[in-house]
Chains A and B, each alone.
Chain A
Amino acid sequence: EAGVTQFPSHSVIEKGQTVTLRCDPISGHDNLYWYRRVMGKEIKFLLHFVKESKQDESGMPNNRFLAERTGGTYSTLKVQPAELEDSGVYFCASSQYGSSGYTFGSGTRLTVV
């Protein structure tokens, strides 16, 4: 079974540019989550999709972040325009009802310079 795949693994962009992160969850997993860790901080929740619907987006820091999950498969997280404080590692996870735990991807390390 393929795991959760995130692309790119690393991204370096200039302040003010746009970046789009992609997450491919485990096939068949209805629940998809985005988390991030900024330097020196704890891993923080951003949002939760159930299929294509946003179940909880209480962790999204501001309106420069836009997450989509068209068709309930893969998801994208767009940051526009990027700011220096957006630097960090963005993790995606997926889960399915009835199974234990969440499966995380390896993350995308975003550096805004």
Chain B
Amino acid sequence: LAKTTQPISMDSYEGQEVNITCSHNNIATNDYITWYQQFPSQGPRFIIQGYKTKVTNEVASLFIPADRKSSTLSLPRVSLSDTAVYYCLVGDHPDTGRRALTFGSGTRLQVQP
């Protein structure tokens, strides 16, 4: 499974846009890129998934360049409640091979008032 690298921590202020970049140099052709959010005392929560270019939902946007060796999670106008750990994972495919996820250390986002 492809290994991911992302910043250990990030700080932001309410109302700002936050971009968290993840590197996954050895991503496989069939691998999707998925981001999860985790609050203390809770399990990870699915945020967004994509394969290439740009994906947007009501929570975030995911930007994936053509070579797919990295991806950027964009959180528009963060609030205090967005303070959490964000994980970038590769390897899941929604239609086939729903195999084990490999979690890294994640990025701890701290949003200040």
Residues of A that sit less than 8 Å from B by CB: 4, 31, 33, 35, 42-45, 48, 55-56, 58-59, 91-93, 95, 97-107
Using A35-B103, A58-B100, A103-B46 as known contacts, list a sample of 16 further A-B pairs with CB atoms less than 8 Å apart, ordered by residue number in A: A43-B103, A48-B100, A59-B100, A91-B44, A95-B98, A98-B95, A100-B34, A100-B49, A101-B36, A101-B46, A101-B92, A102-B98, A102-B101, A105-B43, A106-B43, A107-B43
Would you call B44 and A33 a contact (CB within 8 A)?
no
- CB-CB nearest 8 A-B residue pairs: A104-B43, A101-B46, A45-B100, A43-B103, A100-B49, A91-B43, A31-B98, A104-B44
- Of all chain A residues, the one with the shortest Cβ separation from B32 is A100
How many angstroms from the CA of A48 to the CA of B105 in the assembled complex?
Answer: 22
Task: Tell me the minimal C-beta distance from B95 to chain A in angstroms.
Answer: 6
**Chain B 7-33 interface mask (CB, 8 Å, partner A; 1/0):** 000000000000000000000000000
Would you call A100 and B46 a contact (CB within 8 A)?
yes
How many angstroms from the CA of A57 to the CA of B105 in the assembled complex?
Answer: 22
Contact A97 B94, CB 8 Å, known A4-B43, A104-B45, A106-B42: yes
Contact A99 B44, CB 8 Å, known A42-B103, A45-B100, A45-B101: no
Task: Tell me the minimal C-beta distance from A69 to chain B in angstroms.
Answer: 15
Chain B interface residue count, CB cutoff 8 Å, equals 21
Between-chain CB contacts (< 8 Å), 11 pairs: A35-B101, A56-B99, A91-B43, A97-B95, A101-B36, A102-B44, A102-B92, A105-B43, A106-B43, A107-B41, A107-B43
B76 within 8 A of A: no
Instruction: For B42, list chain A residues within 8 Å (CB).
Output: 106-107
- Of all chain B residues, the one with the shortest Cβ separation from A101 is B46
Of the residues B94, B104, B105, contact of A99 by C-beta under 8 Å: B94
Of the residues B36, B98, B102, contact of A45 by C-beta under 8 Å: B102
Would you call A42 and B49 a contact (CB within 8 A)?
no
Task: Tell me the minimal C-beta distance from B48 to chain A in angstroms.
Answer: 8
- Of all chain B residues, the one with the shortest Cβ separation from A59 is B100
How many angstroms from the CA of A103 to the CA of B49 in the assembled complex?
Answer: 13
Would you call B98 and A44 a contact (CB within 8 A)?
no
